[in-house]
Structure 1
Amino acid sequence: MGFLDRILLFLFSLTVAFLSFLMATQIFGFNWLSQSFADYSTEILVGAVILFLVSLRFLFFRTGASREPQAIIHKTEHGEVRISTQTLESLADRATRLVRGVSDLKTKVRPSEVGIRLAIRISVDPDLDIPQITSSVQQKVKDYVEATAGVIVENVVVYVNDVAKVQAGKVSTRPRVE
């Protein structure tokens, strides 16, 4: 659904909600309209409730995000190729796991006009050079995604969430309670 369609649907829903509110208030004694509606109060109430519920449905369910998965579209001489953002996230995750010292990660892909932008949240092992690890993650992810998917990676932002804790010879990303 396009931007203009969403605006029109939003305005329609507000109008229907307002009219159903006016109809309901007329039934319950707020005589803003003529008295001729008093004979049909039950039917008007039912109609008002139905219109109000339909407007809520349009407001909250139809204007939400598209249910179709996002994809990057490549046009080739043979047609279109669509690569889902979930696939690109998986590729970025795979490349990130190749970097020694990364113990936990979460990736987010955002399409851009040029290609894609990646945001990667990681936890790193203690006593390692964080700038070197993050630089390595950025380079490996960029190279791997571009080589594998043929998508231009505009930038890779790496957030270091946590430094993993060492407990009895193994690394844990859960913070200790003291």
Structure 2
Amino acid sequence: MIRVLDKLLLFLYSLAIGAAAVIAFSAGVYWFPEEWLSNLVHNLYSGDMRWLQLTVVTVSVVMFLISLRFFYVSLKRSNATAPSIDQRTEFGDIRISLETVENLALKAAARQRGVKDLKARIRIGETGIEVSLRAIADGESSIPTLTEDIQRAVKSHVEEITGIPVANVSVYVANIIQSANFKSRVE
């Protein structure tokens, strides 16, 4: 949630800085009449236009607070390491990266005949690891049989190697391999 908020703040901050740059450029190349700028400054300092003063002060305070937030984020040490699955045993702690689990799933799925171009995504669910696979089938094998074999192989291989329960293996067959059948023509 914080990352989404930071992205939204960065977007708004970028828009505001961009608008300020365009206004400064326009004033620098005399696109605004001098009377208009002097009237704007006069109205800002006179008490006649309270809404203008309030708007400028509010926007300035918000921009300053956003700047402080980005300054804090830039200086904060990142504890972010590669996402992993942590286990505690009687001998100590074990950390297995999600990339390792992904590679194990890809290895197990690649052993199945009739599957090509595999991609995997691993998520940690409440009941165990959730594996999502995207594959291209050869079009010669039964897709339901192929996907069941992949699911079974991935589940057993990952559980055997990591010791972590696999809650779900979903397989998405994106396409089949288009084989070129050329018939030779004899005349």
TM-score range, shorter chain: 0.5 to 0.7
Corresponding residue to 2:146 among 121, 125, 133: 133
Judging by fraction of residues, say which structure has more strand. Answer: 1
Identify the match of residue 53 of structure 1 among 43, 67, 86. 67
Structure 1 residue corresponding to 2:130, chosen from 93, 99, 117: 117
Q: Is the 8 A contact 2:84 2:95 kept in 1?
A: yes
Unaligned runs of 5+ in 1: 18-23, 38-44, 170-178
* Structure 1: distance between partners of 2:164 and 2:114: 27
Task: Check 1:134–1:58 CA distance in 2 against 1; reply closer, same or farther (3 A cut).
Answer: farther
Match of 1:76 in 2: 89
Alignment check: 8 A CA contact 2:114 2:140 kept? no
In 1, the alpha carbon distance for the partners of 2:62 and 2:151 equals 56
Distance 1:81 1:138 in 2: 26
What is the CA RMSD across the aligned residues, in angstroms? 3.9
Residues 2-43 of structure 1: CA deviation (Å, up to 9, x unaligned):
x7xx49x97xx8xxx8xxxxxx9xx9622239xxx9xxxxxx
Residues 126 and 166 of structure 1 are in contact (CA less than 8 Å); yes or no, is this contact kept in structure 2?
no
Q: TM (normalized to structure 2)? A: 0.61
Match of 2:157 among 144, 154, 164: 144
Q: Identity, % of aligned pairs?
A: 31
Q: CA contact under 8 A between 1:95 and 1:141: conserved in structure 2? A: yes
Which 10-residue stretch deviates more, 48-57 or 155-164?
48-57
Select the structure of larger CA radius of gyration. 2
Write the letter of the residue equivalent to 2:148. S
TM-score normalised by L of structure 1:
0.64
Q: How many aligned residue pairs are there?
A: 140
